[in-house]
Amino acid sequence: MGKTLAKSPLAPERFPDLPVIAGAEFASVAAGVRYAGRTDVMLARLAPGTAIAGVFTRSATRSAPVLDCQAKIGGASDAGAAIVVNSGNSNAFTGRNGVEATRAVTSAVAKMLDLPEGRVFSSSTGVIGEPLPHARITAKLDELKAGLTEAGISDAARAIMTTDTYPKGATASVDLPGGTVQIAGIAKGSGMIAPDMATMLVYIFTDAKVAQPDLQAMVSAVSDRTFNCITVDSDTSTSDTLLMAATGASGVSVGADDRAFVEALETVMLDLAQQVVRDGEGATKFVTIRVTGAASDADARTHAMSIANSPLVKTAIAGEDPNWGRIVMAIGKSGAAADRDALSIRFGDIVVAENGWVSPTYKEADGAAIMKQAEIDINVDIGLGQGKATVWTCDLTHGYISINADYRS
Amino acid sequence: MGKTLAKSPLAPERFPDLPVIAGAEFASVAAGVRYAGRTDVMLARLAPGTAIAGVFTRSATRSAPVLDCQAKIGGASDAGAAIVVNSGNSNAFTGRNGVEATRAVTSAVAKMLDLPEGRVFSSSTGVIGEPLPHARITAKLDELKAGLTEAGISDAARAIMTTDTYPKGATASVDLPGGTVQIAGIAKGSGMIAPDMATMLVYIFTDAKVAQPDLQAMVSAVSDRTFNCITVDSDTSTSDTLLMAATGASGVSVGADDRAFVEALETVMLDLAQQVVRDGEGATKFVTIRVTGAASDADARTHAMSIANSPLVKTAIAGEDPNWGRIVMAIGKSGAAADRDALSIRFGDIVVAENGWVSPTYKEADGAAIMKQAEIDINVDIGLGQGKATVWTCDLTHGYISINADYRS
């Protein structure tokens, strides 16, 4: 945490221009929760009538702020709302102290912004098991309130970073019969990334008018195809949180089966999810794993995740070694149905293996050329049925070891 | 594979003196299957009346020799038997060619030693997906036969090594009412190690007289408490094989419920299993994870394996960082029952966390001192029930990346 990490070679060229989302204002400050010389708390204020939906880690040891958000989500209210997030300390596994620290922050924000406490959502990300110095956050609330601005979302993306090497943002706009609506999202995350849901914090804002149950249905469904399809290291955080706020300020109504809106939302969520993988700790390769022909979609996902999480597959990719035998190994161990002699494996468009053995047309030099690329497609057909899944991951490098062998020191 | 790896710092001081097992002879040769300048094929000849039992990988993509062994195990026969093993090439995912290569080797051995083909068992370990140059092995069979000796087991342990940095052997003797029996075992394995069963080859020999079904019952039960309780990297081989041969040459009969024998066998199998972990690729720490108080033994094992396989836990240990928050994370993500506020965690005897938070008596310096040791005990009580499990693992280091990022080159 103390070190400055070099920007990931897989990072997007630049942070996108995020549009103003009417009804949403943002501010960020340097509260010194843990880091010095940078912002580490962000506040979002949302207009009355905003619907809030969320998706959270299923960890059995989830943090106090996650439990607090889960208890508050879904409540009907026409009041405004707020989201307050700190980096540097996750307030996870902090016992009763953690519950009190969460309440100290959310109740202070509620009082300051004149909101019901049930409409103030908080997240914390960083070290586990150390008491959250909540007074450092509440001491900065006046400064945060004074700084609220519709243009503040990009700075907010920076305030929530931990080991991230770049801030993450994505946006889309949707032309609907009633008018145009905007979607803008920010995320943080680079390690402890695995489904249920990918370890990270994600905040998405739209000026569309969406009923809370519809918003929840959309966010849950799209998460399954985006954030729950990425993995860096198979480790799942105790703090995973995705919150989406629909302010309704555009006056344009959207329902759960509004296809254009769902597609735009999926674009934003997939972009953010892939940006998290691209910032995977130590990552030098961005890997797309497509499994087809499995007995079911669930089996396809099990195979894809087994490949994506295999340390031997990930180190082979790091070494630019087209070691397809390790892919066979990962399929074999996954527990999902497979038949050795029905498998086929392609690196990009190159057929590597089929019918239980290396393809007669395969040349190691062709596989090696694919492996030298920064973006690698691994395509596996199980040969048993119609099930399919796509997951995204990165390689496992010396950089991952260097970052994680002394995170706290 | 081309490189010579430094001997693991966790290796036993020396290879044990393995006793002669009456009725078992061994030979090894350099056949040049893949490696130059070392032995790479071993042959064991077993006396008529020998019972053979086995445990194998459950991988859906297991190798031709594994399938061949599984088809042969359990057949009743008074004939002698043989085990032939090569390193350098696993003959896995080699299609019909693999089946033919296995048959070429086993039928040649059967003919040479005048055995039924169903009594010749083979294993292959090494690179996946390349044709096994079986003629190089069969060309050496006469030399192997000429070299058979009761004293050859230690050389056999060397012939089966791949990325192992030391040969692995263990032994025990058991005084029974009918006389003393000997057990001796050898193993190879250092990466692609995870249960079902730990990725490796293991051959155990005894001069006890054991009926085949009893031998199988013992080996299966003890495997579950030994080889299936170790993990290096969560990756499971397509070639995992454990074969046990009971020659009966001592004339001392043993049954499946003969406690002294089972205990001695467990000593040997646990010793070999732990030696595999101690040779884990890049390992610098030997880690014992004991989980108690889980809702069931199965839940305890799920938690223990989740901790043992977590890249973030393993890198923290590599960095000598007493980062108990990552243990909480691994318990939370395991899927087994847990209650954050009932958990307690000890490093050795030091209470680190209890009741959902760091212990008031815990000092980071104490945890750090434990982490500096080469052998580390992590004890977790889930606080829910009586389930317990112990697993053994190692840390995840730069050495693992270095070894596996260019295994084939």
- Evaluate whether B272 touches B183 at the Cβ level (below 8 Å): no
Residue A127 three-state SS? strand
Confidence of residue A315 (pLDDT cuts 50, 70, 90): very high
Catalytic residue among B57, B162, B163, B199: B199
Rounded-to-integer distance, Cα B241 and Cα A346, Å = 29
Q: Give pLDDT, residue B234.
A: 64
Residue A370 three-state SS? helix
What type of residue is B112?
Answer: M
How many contacts (CB atoms, under 8 Å) link A and B? Answer: 221
| Nearest-CB residue to A321 (from B130, B324, B406) | B406
Say yes or no for a CB contact (<8 Å) between A59 and B319: no
Greater confidence (A189 vs B138) lies with B138
Structure tokens at B336: 């087994």
- Distance from the B95 Cα atom to the nearest Cα atom in chain A, whole angstroms: 5
Identify the burial level of A169 via C-beta atoms within 10 angstroms of its C-beta, where 0-12 means exposed, 13-18 middle and 19 or more buried: buried
A329 contact residues in B (CB cutoff 8 A)? 59, 61, 128, 192, 235-238
Catalytic residue among A199, A236, A238, A397: A199
| Nearest-CB residue to A325 (from B93, B319, B326) | B93
Rounded-to-integer distance, Cα B54 and Cα B70, Å = 8
Nearest 5°: the CA angle B157, B162, B167 is 30
What type of residue is B186?
Answer: I
The residues near B259 (Cβ < 8 Å, ≥ 6 apart) are none
Say yes or no for a CB contact (<8 Å) between B333 and A235: yes
Residue A227 three-state SS? helix
Rounded-to-integer distance, Cα B259 and Cα B254, Å = 10
Structure tokens at B333: 């993500």
Structure tokens at A399: 């950089």
A364 contact residues in B (CB cutoff 8 A)? none
What average pLDDT is seen over chain B? 91
Q: Give pLDDT, residue A196.
A: 39
Rounded-to-integer distance, Cα A60 and Cα B335, Å = 8
Residue A382 three-state SS? coil
Q: Over range A116-145, report the average pLDDT.
A: 95
What pLDDT, in 10s, does the model give residues A151-173? 999 999 999 998 889 999 999 99
Q: Give pLDDT, residue A40.
A: 96
| The CATH number, out of the four listed (3.40.50.620, 3.40.640.10, 3.10.20.340, 2.60.320.10), of the domain defined by the range A286-404 | 3.10.20.340
For A352, nearest residue in chain B (alpha carbons): B129
- Asked whether the predicted pLDDT for residue A2 surpasses 50, the reply is no
What pLDDT, in 10s, does the model give residues A15-74? 999 999 999 999 999 999 998 899 999 999 999 999 999 999 888 888 999 999 999 998
Residue B25's nearest CA partner among B89, B92, B113 is B113
Say yes or no for a CB contact (<8 Å) between B316 and A93: no
B309 contact residues in A (CB cutoff 8 A)? 234
Q: Give pLDDT, residue A342.
A: 92
Residue A81's nearest CA partner among A202, A245, A249, A209 is A245
**What b/e sequence results for B222-245 when a residue is b if at least 16 CB atoms lie within 10 Å of its CB, and e otherwise?**
bbeebbbbbbbbbbbbbbbbbbbb
A338: Cα within 13 Å, side-chain hemisphere: 35
Residue to test with chain B: of A312, A339, A396, A397, most B Cβ within 10 A: A312
Region of residue A348 (left: phi > 0; alpha: psi -120 to 50; beta: else): left
CATH of domain B24-278: 3.60.70.12
Say yes or no for a CB contact (<8 Å) between B358 and A129: yes
Greater confidence (B61 vs B207) lies with B207
B339 contact residues in A (CB cutoff 8 A)? 60
Rounded-to-integer distance, Cα A161 and Cα A155, Å = 11
The residues near A233 (Cβ < 8 Å, ≥ 6 apart) are A191, A192, A193, A194, A280, A281, A309, A396, A400, B311, B312
- Could you say which DSSP state residue B253 is in? B
Say yes or no for a CB contact (<8 Å) between B332 and A236: yes
Structure tokens at A376: 């690698």
B324 contact residues in A (CB cutoff 8 A)? 129
Report how far apart, in Å, the C-alpha atoms of A120 and of each of A54, A72, A242, B251 are. Answer: 13, 8, 14, 78
Say yes or no for a CB contact (<8 Å) between A325 and B192: no
Rounded-to-integer distance, Cα B134 and Cα B103, Å = 9
The residues near B273 (Cβ < 8 Å, ≥ 6 apart) are B187, B198, B226, B227, B229, B230, B392
| Nearest-CB residue to A312 (from B97, B323, B404) | B404
- Asked whether the predicted pLDDT for residue B59 surpasses 50, the reply is yes
- Asked whether the predicted pLDDT for residue A198 surpasses 60, the reply is no
A57 contact residues in B (CB cutoff 8 A)? 332
For B407, nearest residue in chain A (alpha carbons): A316
CA-derived radius of gyration, chain B: 22
Partners of B379 in the β-ladder: B290, B346
Say yes or no for a CB contact (<8 Å) between B235 and A397: no
| Nearest-CB residue to A236 (from B333, B402, B406) | B333
| Nearest-CB residue to B329 (from A61, A336, A407) | A61
Report how far apart, in Å, the C-alpha atoms of A409 and of each of B130, B213, B322, B368 are. Answer: 45, 55, 10, 11
Rounded-to-integer distance, Cα A236 and Cα B333, Å = 6
- Distance from the B344 Cα atom to the nearest Cα atom in chain A, whole angstroms: 11
| Nearest-CB residue to B328 (from A238, A339, A396) | A238
Number of H helices, E strands in chain A: 12, 15
The owner of tokens 């001392």 is B252
Whether residue B199 lies in the annotated active site: yes
Q: What DSSP string describes B139-204?
A: TTHHHHHHH-BTTTHHHHHHHT-SS-SS-EEEEEEEEETTEEEEEEEEEE-SSS--SSS-SSEEEE
- Asked whether the predicted pLDDT for residue A279 surpasses 60, the reply is yes
Q: Give pLDDT, residue B102.
A: 97
- Evaluate whether A300 touches A291 at the Cβ level (below 8 Å): yes
Q: Over range A251-266, report the average pLDDT.
A: 96
What pLDDT, in 10s, does the model give residues B301-359? 999 999 999 988 999 999 999 989 889 989 988 989 999 889 999 999 999 999 888 89
Greater confidence (B374 vs B281) lies with B374
What pLDDT, in 10s, does the model give residues B102-111? 999 999 999 9
Segments making up each domain of chain B, as ranges? 24-278, 286-404
What element of type H or E holds A133?
none
Say yes or no for a CB contact (<8 Å) between B398 and A402: yes
The owner of tokens 């030979």 is B27
What pLDDT, in 10s, does the model give residues A349-403? 999 999 888 899 999 999 999 999 999 999 999 999 999 999 999 999 998 888 8
B67 contact residues in A (CB cutoff 8 A)? none
Q: Give pLDDT, residue A60.
A: 83
Confidence of residue A193 (pLDDT cuts 50, 70, 90): low
Q: Give pLDDT, residue B74.
A: 82
For A336, nearest residue in chain B (alpha carbons): B60
Q: Give pLDDT, residue A197.
A: 38
Confidence of residue A291 (pLDDT cuts 50, 70, 90): very high
A196 contact residues in B (CB cutoff 8 A)? 333
Rounded-to-integer distance, Cα B352 and Cα B357, Å = 9
| Nearest-CB residue to B238 (from A309, A332, A353) | A332
- Evaluate whether B269 touches B185 at the Cβ level (below 8 Å): yes
Helix axes A259-278, A212-225, angle to 10 degrees: 50
- Could you say which DSSP state residue A228 is in? G
- Evaluate whether B115 touches B108 at the Cβ level (below 8 Å): no
Q: Give pLDDT, residue B4.
A: 65
Percent of chain B scored above 90 by pLDDT?
A: 74
Residues for chain B: how many in total?
409
Q: Give pLDDT, residue B197.
A: 38
Q: Give pLDDT, residue B193.
A: 54
Residue to test with chain A: of B91, B102, B228, B235, most A Cβ within 10 A: B235
Residue A217 three-state SS? helix
What average pLDDT is seen over chain A? 91
Percent of chain A scored above 70 by pLDDT?
A: 95
For A127, nearest residue in chain B (alpha carbons): B325
Q: Give pLDDT, residue B94.
A: 87
Structure tokens at B26: 């061994």
Rounded-to-integer distance, Cα B226 and Cα B204, Å = 14
- Distance from the B31 Cα atom to the nearest Cα atom in chain A, whole angstroms: 23
Say yes or no for a CB contact (<8 Å) between B328 and A128: yes
Say yes or no for a CB contact (<8 Å) between A321 and B61: no
Confidence of residue A139 (pLDDT cuts 50, 70, 90): very high
| Nearest-CB residue to B312 (from A96, A196, A235) | A235
Residue to test with chain B: of A70, A91, A329, most B Cβ within 10 A: A329
CATH superfamily, domain at A24-276: L-amino peptidase D-ALA esterase/amidase (3.60.70.12)
What pLDDT, in 10s, does the model give residues A84-106? 999 999 998 888 899 999 999 99
Say yes or no for a CB contact (<8 Å) between B329 and A405: no
The residues near A144 (Cβ < 8 Å, ≥ 6 apart) are A27, A28, A29, A41, A43
- Asked whether the predicted pLDDT for residue B365 surpasses 80, the reply is yes
A311 contact residues in B (CB cutoff 8 A)? 233-235, 311, 396, 400, 404
Q: Over range B165-169, report the average pLDDT.
A: 94
* B69 φ/ψ angles, rounded to the nearest 5 degrees: -60, -45
- Distance from the B46 Cα atom to the nearest Cα atom in chain A, whole angstroms: 32
Say yes or no for a CB contact (<8 Å) between A340 and B405: no
Identify the burial level of A76 via C-beta atoms within 10 angstroms of its C-beta, where 0-12 means exposed, 13-18 middle and 19 or more buried: exposed
- Evaluate whether B198 touches B189 at the Cβ level (below 8 Å): yes
CA-derived radius of gyration, chain A: 22
Partners of A43 in the β-ladder: A27, A84
What pLDDT, in 10s, does the model give residues B84-94? 999 999 998 88
Number of H helices, E strands in chain B: 12, 16
Percent of chain A scored above 90 by pLDDT?
A: 74
For A235, nearest residue in chain B (alpha carbons): B310
Q: Over range A248-272, report the average pLDDT.
A: 96
Rounded-to-integer distance, Cα B283 and Cα B319, Å = 12
- Distance from the A308 Cα atom to the nearest Cα atom in chain B, whole angstroms: 12
